[in-house]
């Protein structure tokens, strides 16, 4: 009676400052006459004194959604109280409906044509741009900024002059559905208040806090998502208001203290919410996005003052400087910023309406459409566009009646001034920034990123964004569909856009992505060719084409395309990392390593490069400590980088830190839920831990998400299914793996195991025989052939295959057990005993070999030795019926211990109620 060794499966693994505060003089309380520029209120004469400043910028916030601006539907009591305690500007203007552009103007007091930032993600602030933080830092202020979205990361240059610039969107970030990395107001304000707690008492500080919450996609937390369940944007605004309240209650900010700060709250831009056909912002230049809330609270200053005159974001810097006793440094000019504090004084209404400029160039950068420029003077607003527009905002605040034809002279004057003051003054001020492909993808998903090199040529005039808005909406829908991997639906949307606007480079590029997702690689390459014809200097198109050619296994052609792109942008990181990958696939390892070393020397702090360097060069050399350091550095720099989490997790697994690896995979999956690689790695780890249900879920998700699933994932899923007893399902997964990689030895071996365990030993034997013919050095296959030979009682074959497996891999404990079984059946008891002893020396807990050894000792009449061996088995497998049965027969027979025999007879029935000898055992128990 022999217990056969369990078939051994292959391991499921991935191949793989001190300023003294002056005295604060009381403000003289006067009553102002009612004037054109402001509402009657109690207005003091201002005494300027050095004091702290708090600047709160609220992203994507419409004025008409706030209580102090008349909203009845959205509860914003904090901002209402702030306005009641200070000054509200009824007609504040944004310079642009784009986050980075507007913030650059708020902090610098300069217009976009002066500071050079015209779009998110591609431009940055030059060092020669003087910001409010730099001015205040030079005056001894402690300075700190806490921003909530990746579009304001330090790389874009607004960190100038800040002692602390907190753009950390990872460590304490709640999970967000938005593509652009951001953190909720609560997290940002927690960080800001922690910094405030550390600022020395009575010392001046400048604190800038940026909140991003009302940005699409709208997803307020409870209870706001319940209160505003059908108006989630409003819920975001209400949630943000409560968080602003937390900040304003901080002891260093709350009213009444000796060093109470000036507080300024202003939006970067608004949100269209469907007006003029625009769902969000950045494409059009109407007041739904350019009219913004702006509220100030000045210690001891006017309360409940409402100023009707137009003001602008460029006025923030000089006004705040003036209020703390600094020279505003304003240059004379028709569009120069101004100190708004004189508007707080009696009789301050201006006889001449001030002009303000706004723009959006995103339609130009993204779609090749016309640029939109705006000049507003008093009630009149002129939009310079391919088809210009003129509006009387006093009579037509929603800009529904274009008066360009009715007021041609006024339109002429505003167009002339716009040309003289702005367009003629524009120079080559844009400072461009290179982003990697992942960063471009995230920004492009919100329509923020330019598409093309900026040199797209069109036949005829550029389209008017205001008449093309429906195509933009279709593009937004298409991008969302692409993000959800609904490629066919995305293609349908994009085909309509391309038919109406064949020169739309962005639509062509997105169509490339859709066709690639559908597996139509040849058509995708043709579409990319059309894109290159429009803009032969756009690097991203070359990257797309190279990837497509690689999928056609045309790696030399892919390298040619990357070389052309490198000539256009030698510092493009993704070009470099992609090139290294293709060289390695071509087995040109020396070239690949040299290219990687050069890339690492040029970009030592770039996360993509750190990951590639660690995984490609250091791990294969066994330099695991250094590799882990670089992978952790990359992961800290960009925890959203899929490969950083993947390879760090694999390294942790390799060094035996499985719980840490699991934590890294889980955190990375929260940030990258569509990563088939991370799901695959997590599934394989869970399979190794025998957490089979969760392993199956992750492996199936990996297969669902991958355009070209890897055979090892099919094979791993097959192993999980086999372990769960679903052998036919397992065989199907193994067959899928073998269709992709027919010669894969591990898959063939595991498929044979599934055949064997599903009762099909002949098919298992054929697979294994073919495998050892192809791969004579495959130890697992030889060992499994030995198991099948045991079934057929071909003992010579058992010994032959077991010895071969041991010759190849002496540590395969199951092979020693199988060898012992074969030798025993061939009556070589001494050889069998040595084989069992070797198996137990390798794996003392391998109770199957211990049990078989006990049977051998019975056969050689070593009864005490057999009993001792069986009792040791029960110490490791206490519910094994065969061992209890063997001990029962020993104690009932030659060892003569009836009571112990009865205990083991009962144990047999307890652990195997349907045991074949049940009736016999019951009789024996009864007889005793």
pLDDT tens for residues 608-656? Answer: 999 999 999 999 999 999 999 999 999 998 888 899 999 999 999 999 9
B/e letters for 735-756, b = 16+ CB within 10 Å, e = fewer, are ebbbeebeebbbbbbbbbbbbb
DSSP state, 297?
A: E
Average pLDDT over residues 157-176: 75
Split at pLDDT 50, 70, 90, the class of 472 is: very high
Range of lowest pLDDT (528-532, 685-689, 904-908) = 904-908
The bridge status of strand 28-31 relative to strand 42-45 is antiparallel
pLDDT score of 486: 93
Does the pTM surpass 0.75? The reply is: no
pLDDT score of 926: 77
pLDDT reading at 764 higher than 90: no
Share of the chain above pLDDT 90, in %: 65
Place of tokens 């120069």: 336
Whether residue 422 contacts residue 72, with contact meaning beta carbons closer than 8 Å, is answered with: no
Split at pLDDT 50, 70, 90, the class of 156 is: confident
pLDDT score of 94: 98
pLDDT score of 761: 87
pLDDT score of 920: 85
pLDDT score of 402: 97
pLDDT score of 46: 57
pLDDT reading at 19 higher than 50: no
Q: How far apart are CA 293 and CA 237, in angstroms?
A: 12
pLDDT score of 608: 92
Q: How far apart are CA 526 and CA 519, in angstroms?
A: 13
Q: Which of 389, 394, 381, 501 is nearest to 90 (CA)?
A: 394
Beta-carbon neighbour count of residue 834 at 10 Å?
A: 15
Split at pLDDT 50, 70, 90, the class of 34 is: very low
Average pLDDT over residues 804-831: 92
Angle at 726 between CA 720 and CA 727, to 5 degrees: 95
pLDDT score of 78: 98
pLDDT reading at 25 higher than 60: no
Q: How far apart are CA 105 and CA 187, in angstroms?
A: 26
Q: How far apart are CA 112 and CA 522, in angstroms?
A: 42
Q: How far apart are CA 35 and CA 349, in angstroms?
A: 6
pLDDT score of 726: 93
Split at pLDDT 50, 70, 90, the class of 669 is: very high
Average pLDDT over residues 519-537: 93
pLDDT reading at 43 higher than 70: no
Split at pLDDT 50, 70, 90, the class of 921 is: confident
Residue with more model confidence, 372 or 480:
372
Average pLDDT over residues 64-87: 97
Average pLDDT over residues 552-579: 92
pLDDT reading at 259 higher than 80: yes
Q: How far apart are CA 432 and CA 437, in angstroms?
A: 15
Q: How far apart are CA 545 and CA 557, in angstroms?
A: 9
Instruction: Please give the helix or strand (H or E) that residue 206 lies within, else none.
Output: strand 205-211
pLDDT score of 494: 97
pLDDT score of 925: 82
pLDDT reading at 816 higher than 70: yes
Split at pLDDT 50, 70, 90, the class of 349 is: low
pLDDT score of 126: 81
Q: Which of 94-108, 320-334, 895-909 has the highest mean pLDDT?
A: 94-108
Which tokens hold the place of 791?
């079934």
Range of lowest pLDDT (206-210, 711-715, 756-760) = 756-760
Residue with more model confidence, 362 or 8:
362
Instruction: Please give the helix or strand (H or E) that residue 808 lies within, else none.
Output: helix 795-808
Average pLDDT over residues 125-152: 93
Split at pLDDT 50, 70, 90, the class of 431 is: very low
pLDDT score of 5: 39
**Which residues is 142 bridged to in the sheet?**
205
pLDDT score of 42: 46
Average pLDDT over residues 778-790: 90
pLDDT score of 169: 77
Which tokens hold the place of 515?
């066709």
pLDDT score of 453: 62
Split at pLDDT 50, 70, 90, the class of 351 is: low
Considering the chain, what is the average pLDDT of its residues?
Answer: 87
Average pLDDT over residues 887-916: 89
Q: How far apart are CA 84 and CA 68, in angstroms?
A: 8
pLDDT reading at 145 higher than 80: yes
pLDDT score of 600: 94
Q: How far apart are CA 222 and CA 207, in angstroms?
A: 28
Average pLDDT over residues 544-552: 94
Helices (H) and strands (E) in the chain, counts: 39, 15
């Amino acid at each position: 009676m022999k217990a056969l060794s369990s078939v051994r499966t292959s391991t499921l693994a991935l191949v793989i400052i001190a300023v003294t505060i002056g005295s604060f003089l009381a403000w003289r309380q006067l009553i102002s006459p009612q004037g054109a520029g402001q509402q009657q209120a109690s207005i003091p004469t201002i005494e300027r004194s050095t004091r702290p400043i708090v600047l709160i910028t609220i992203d994507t916030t419409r004025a008409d959604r706030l209580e102090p601006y008349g909203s009845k539907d959205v509860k914003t009591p904090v901002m209402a109280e702030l306005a009641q305690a200070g000054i509200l500007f009824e007609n504040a203007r944004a310079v642009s409906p784009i986050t980075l552009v507007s913030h650059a103007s708020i902090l610098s007091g300069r217009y976009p044509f002066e500071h050079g930032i015209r779009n998110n993600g591609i431009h940055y602030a030059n060092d020669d741009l003087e910001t409010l933080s730099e001015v205040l830092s030079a005056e001894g202020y402690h300075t700190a900024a806490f921003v909530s979205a990746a579009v304001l990361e330090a790389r874009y240059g607004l960190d100038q002059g800040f002692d602390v610039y907190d753009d950390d969107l990872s460590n304490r970030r709640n999970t967000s559905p938005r593509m652009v990395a951001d953190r909720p107001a609560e997290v940002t304000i927690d960080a800001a208040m922690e910094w405030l707690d550390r600022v020395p008492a009575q010392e001046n500080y400048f604190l800038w806090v940026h909140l991003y919450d009302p940005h699409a996609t709208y997803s307020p937390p409870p209870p706001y998502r319940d209160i505003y369940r059908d108006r989630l944007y409003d819920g975001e605004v209400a949630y943000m208001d409560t968080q602003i309240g937390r900040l304003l209650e901080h002891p260093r900010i709350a009213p009444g203290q000796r060093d109470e700060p000036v507080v300024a709250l202003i939006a970067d831009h608004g949100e269209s919410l469907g007006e003029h056909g625009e769902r969000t912002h950045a494409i059009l230049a109407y007041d739904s996005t350019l009219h913004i809330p702006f509220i100030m609270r000045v210690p001891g200053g006017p309360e409940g003052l409402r100023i009707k005159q137009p003001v602008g974001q460029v006025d923030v810097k000089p006004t705040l400087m003036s209020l703390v006793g600094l020279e505003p440094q304003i240059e004379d000019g028709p569009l120069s910023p101004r100190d708004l504090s004189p508007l707080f004084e009696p009789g301050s209404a201006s006889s001449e309406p001030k002009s303000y400029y706004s723009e959006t160039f995103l339609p130009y950068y993204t779609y090749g459409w016309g640029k939109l420029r705006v000049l507003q003077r008093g009630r009149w607003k002129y939009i310079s566009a391919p088809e210009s527009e003129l509006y009387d905002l006093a009579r037509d605040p929603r800009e529904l009646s274009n008066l360009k034809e009715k007021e041609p002279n006024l339109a002429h004057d505003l167009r002339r001034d716009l040309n003289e003051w702005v367009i003629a003054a524009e120079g080559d001020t844009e400072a461009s920034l290179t982003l990697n492909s992942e960063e471009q993808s995230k920004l492009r998903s919100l329509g923020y990123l330019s598409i093309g090199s900026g040199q797209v040529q069109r036949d005829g005039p550029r389209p008017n964004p205001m008449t093309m808005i429906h195509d933009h909406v279709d593009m937004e829908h298409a991008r969302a569909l692409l993000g959800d991997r609904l490629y066919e639906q995305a293609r349908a949307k994009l085909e309509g856009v391309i038919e109406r606007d064949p020169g739309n480079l962005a639509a062509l590029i997105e169509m490339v992505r859709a066709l690639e997702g559908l597996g139509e690689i040849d058509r995708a390459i043709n579409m990319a060719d059309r894109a290159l014809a429009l803009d032969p200097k756009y690097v991203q198109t070359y990257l797309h084409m190279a990837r497509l050619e690689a999928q056609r296994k045309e790696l030399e052609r892919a390298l040619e395309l990357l070389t052309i792109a490198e000539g256009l942008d030698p510092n493009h990181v993704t070009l470099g990392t992609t090139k290294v990958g293709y060289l390695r696939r071509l087995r040109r390892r020396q070239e690949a390593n040299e290219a990687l070393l050069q890339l690492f020397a040029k970009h030592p702090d770039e996360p993509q490069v750190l990951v590639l360097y660690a995984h490609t060069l250091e791990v294969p050399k066994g330099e695991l400590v250094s590799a882990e350091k670089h992978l952790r550095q990359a992961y800290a720099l960009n925890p959203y980088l899929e490969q950083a989490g993947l390879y760090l997790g694999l390294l942790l697994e390799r060094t035996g830190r499985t719980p840490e690896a699991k934590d890294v995979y889980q955190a990375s999956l929260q940030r990258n839920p569509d990563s088939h690689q991370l799901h695959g790695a997590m599934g394989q780890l869970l399979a190794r831990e025998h957490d089979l249900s969760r392993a199956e879920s992750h492996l199936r998700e990996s297969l669902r998400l991958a355009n070209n699933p890897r055979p090892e994932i099919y094979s791993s899923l097959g192993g999980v299914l086999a372990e769960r007893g679903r052998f036919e399902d397992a065989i199907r997964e193994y067959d899928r793996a073998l269709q992709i990689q027919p010669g894969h030895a591990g898959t063939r071996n595991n498929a044979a195991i599934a055949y064997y365990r599903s009762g099909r030993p002949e098919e298992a034997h054929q697979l294994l025989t073919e495998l050892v013919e192809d791969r004579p050095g495959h130890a697992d296959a030889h060992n499994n052939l030995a198991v099948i030979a045991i079934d057929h009682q071909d003992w010579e074959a058992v010994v032959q295959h077991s010895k071969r497996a041991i010759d190849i891999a002496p540590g395969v404990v199951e092979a020693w057990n199988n060898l012992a079984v074969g030798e025993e059946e061939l009556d070589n008891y001494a050889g069998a005993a040595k084989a069992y002893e070797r198996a137990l020396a390798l794996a003392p807990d391998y109770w199957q070999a211990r049990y078989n050894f006990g049977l051998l000792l019975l056969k050689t009449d070593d009864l005490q030795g057999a009993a001792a061996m069986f009792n040791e088995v029960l110490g490791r497998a206490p519910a094994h019926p065969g061992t209890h049965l063997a001990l029962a027969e020993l104690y009932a027979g030659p060892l003569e211990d009836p009571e112990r025999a009865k205990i083991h007879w009962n144990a047999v029935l307890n652990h195997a109620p349907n045991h074949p000898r049940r009736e016999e055992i019951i009789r024996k128990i009864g007889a005793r």
